[in-house]
Structure 1
Amino acid sequence: MQLAISPQPVVSLIAGILIFIFPKLLNYIVAIYLIVIGILGLIR
């Protein structure tokens, strides 16, 4: 049995945790998140 995990919730969860730990990273994390979601959207 294989568990299929979509990348978007995992990425957003990791980004949320990092923002709680390092609030100054918010701008970078949001930028990276948007870029990753954009790339995944174009690939699919």
Structure 2
Amino acid sequence: MTISLGPLLALLAGILILLIPRLLNYIVAIYLIIVGVAGLLGVGTINIR
């Protein structure tokens, strides 16, 4: 079974935002930084087996 990292992170971020709304800015900023660095490095889909 392969679990994709993107949806798992989105679910975790959504739960954290519901519990602590102040985290929204930080979660969005960290997500954008990770996606930007992954795009620059040419990383496609990250899968965990």
TM-score (norm 2): 0.69
Alignment size in residue pairs:
42
Percent identity of equivalent pairs: 55
Which contiguous aligned blocks of 4+ residues in structure 1 show a shift greater than 4 angstroms? none
Q: Whose relative contact order is higher, 1 or 2, with alpha carbons under 8 Å and at least 6 apart?
A: 2
- Structure with more of its chain in strand, by fraction: 2
Give unpaired runs (5+ residues) of structure 1: none
Give unpaired runs (5+ residues) of structure 2: 45-49
TM-score (norm 1): 0.75
